[in-house]
Amino acid sequence: MVVDVLIKDISQLITVKSGIKAKKGREMQNIGLIENGWIAIKENTIIGVGSGDIGSEFKIQEHTLIVDGKGKTVTPGLIDPHTHLVHGGSRENELALKLKGVPYLEILKKGGGILSTVRATQNSTLEELVNQSKKSLDRMLTYGVTTVEVKSGYGLEIDTEIKQLEAIDILNKQSNSDLVSTFMGAHAIPGEYRHNPDEFVDVVINEMLPIVAEKQLAEFCDVFCEEGVFSIDQTRKILKAAEKLGLKSKIHADEIISLGGAELAAELGVVSADHLMAASEEGLKMMAEKDVVAVALPGTSFNLAMGKYANVRKMIDYGLSVALATDYNPGSCPTENIQLIMSLGCLYLKMTPEEVISAVTINAAAAINREHEIGSIEIGKKADIVIFDAPNLYYIPYHFGVNHVDIVIKNGKIVVKEGRLI
Ligand code: NIG
Ligand code: FE
């Protein structure tokens, strides 16, 4: 077999060996570490993985690119399974409000928060949205993120929702990253429906969803299920309608108030339930039984600064597959830095570095239904690989807040070198 790219002498090769399945509970500790490892790539696929000398069945030719992995830690391309990447404007004005003690949901109630980003997004052209989002997407890639889930939800009316989804589609086609698209028309109640939110639910179901489905612009549907936003019944109604049109489901569940979002996630058998800072133990156990991936977003807890983090130790005890994501958005978590999220996972969610690696690779892949093609370094999977300038995996979350990426390989090609886009 002819090899196009060979990464050799890798000090710590983290394969996350898992086949095509998410890691549940204690399995998250097993990350398939190989010392003195190598990876062989042909075109955009991994064709060999091992330790020591590369086998004689692999042909190294003149064109073969050989990358030295000495002193480096290598992981699968990282996956960010929850972002609100595409939006207009920014919300630095909310920092002062937060410091004065104004709660996140209070800012939203007064027409700020998500609703102020809705105005900025409505006022942006498609081109402006693509350009602004491309900057963040490229930054994510330099941090080692090769696949990103992106939600709409800053339109709250069909034209802007479609504009956001089109921006996601354009970025998916034009950038080196892979994007997975989620329709989130039910992200907030627009001001004009404040007194009759059920009417807006009907608009989402009867007017928005059929157009989104027809244009095939989204793979998932997500709802912000929260007190004062969408109730359990409204969320159930929207996600059932979405499923009928062929969209898979996700829920922003039990972020601030314990509403029963985790229980609903289990009842509907959604692909992932995200946030879960206020989820009940019963709800988490029900999710484990239904194989719902729990996506924890410690950057949001950190930035909301309410001292409330998801109980990931319990989730792991209950046998849940836990993933981590940035939740990148202009309000509750304006950061693209997945490596910072990994540090917060260790420091505030009390996850081990091994569990954190599983959470940003195979389990993050499962949170967006991609575990069959990405999330581990195994024969047949996509050649999405990150080479960290770090002597071992512990170094990455330990030395926090900075970028440790040296090289990113996306689809078999080097796209980041010395931490910079090439
Ligand atoms: O996941 N919680 C709801 N939605 C986003 C925040 C969006 C915003 O504040 O703009 C989240 O945290
Ligand atoms: Fe979110």
Residues 262-301 have pLDDT tens digits of 999 999 999 999 999 999 999 999 999 999 999 999 999 9
pLDDT per position as a tens digit, 197-246 = 999 999 999 999 999 999 999 999 999 999 999 999 999 999 999 999 99
pLDDT per position as a tens digit, 27-69 = 999 999 999 999 999 999 999 999 999 989 999 999 999 999 9
pLDDT (average), residues 371-400: 98
Cα-to-centroid distance, 331 and ligand 1 (Å): 6
pLDDT reported for residue 343:
98
pLDDT reported for residue 112:
92
Which residue CA neighbors atom 6 of ligand 1 most closely? Answer: 332
Ligand 1 touching residue 405 (CB < 6 A): no
Ligand 1 touching residue 252 (CB < 6 A): yes
Residue 19: pLDDT above 90?
no
Ligand number, closest to the Cα atom of 303: 1
pLDDT (average), residues 257-263: 97
pLDDT reported for residue 217:
98
Ligand 1 touching residue 318 (CB < 6 A): no
Residue 159 to residue 88: CA distance in whole angstroms: 15
Question: Which is it for the CA torsion 160, 163, 167, 173, positive or negative?
Answer: positive
Residue 167: pLDDT above 90?
yes
Average model confidence (pLDDT) across the chain: 97
For residues 385, 178, 17 and 6, what is the CA-based torsion angle, rounded to 10 degrees? -30
Encoding tokens for residue 76? Answer: 């699968």
C-beta contacts of 369-375 below 8 A and 24+ residues apart = 369/219, 369/248, 369/271, 370/79, 370/147, 370/180, 371/18, 371/20, 371/21, 371/22, 372/20, 374/76, 374/77, 374/79, 374/146, 374/147, 374/178, 375/16, 375/18, 375/76, 375/79
pLDDT reported for residue 417:
98
pTM: 0.98
Q: Are 337 and 143 in contact (CB under 8 A)?
A: yes
Question: Which is it for the CA torsion 209, 366, 180, 379, positive or negative?
Answer: negative
pLDDT per position as a tens digit, 81-120 = 999 999 999 999 999 999 999 999 999 988 899 999 999 9
Cα-to-centroid distance, 63 and ligand 1 (Å): 47
Q: How far is CA 421 from the centre of its chain?
A: 21
Is 176 annotated in some ligand binding site?
Answer: no
Is 255 annotated in some ligand binding site?
Answer: yes
Cα-to-centroid distance, 389 and ligand 2 (Å): 30
Ligand 1 touching residue 327 (CB < 6 A): yes
Ligand 1 touching residue 82 (CB < 6 A): no
Residue 391 to residue 389: CA distance in whole angstroms: 7
Encoding tokens for residue 24? Answer: 């549940």
Which residue CA neighbors atom 9 of ligand 1 most closely? Answer: 331
Residue 333: pLDDT above 90?
yes
pLDDT per position as a tens digit, 340-359 = 999 999 999 999 999 999 99
Ligand 1 touching residue 224 (CB < 6 A): yes
* Burial of 422: CB neighbours in 10 Å, binned 0-12, 13-18, 19+: exposed
Encoding tokens for residue 303? Answer: 């930035």
Name the pLDDT band for 256 (thresholds 50, 70, 90). Answer: very high
pLDDT reported for residue 25:
98
CA distances from 333 to 124, 161, 196 (A): 21, 21, 29
Cα-to-centroid distance, 117 and ligand 2 (Å): 13
In percent, the amount of the chain with pLDDT more than 70 equals 100
In percent, the amount of the chain with pLDDT more than 90 equals 98
pLDDT (average), residues 140-147: 98
pLDDT (average), residues 167-174: 98
CA distances from 378 to 41, 137, 371, 381 (A): 11, 26, 12, 6
Of ligand 1's listed atoms, the one at least distance from the Cα of 330 is 10
pLDDT reported for residue 352:
98
Cα-to-centroid distance, 85 and ligand 2 (Å): 10
Of residues 274, 259, 179, the one with CA closest to residue 226: 259
Name the pLDDT band for 306 (thresholds 50, 70, 90). Answer: confident
Which residue CA neighbors atom 8 of ligand 1 most closely? Answer: 331
Of ligand 1's listed atoms, the one at least distance from the Cα of 300 is 12
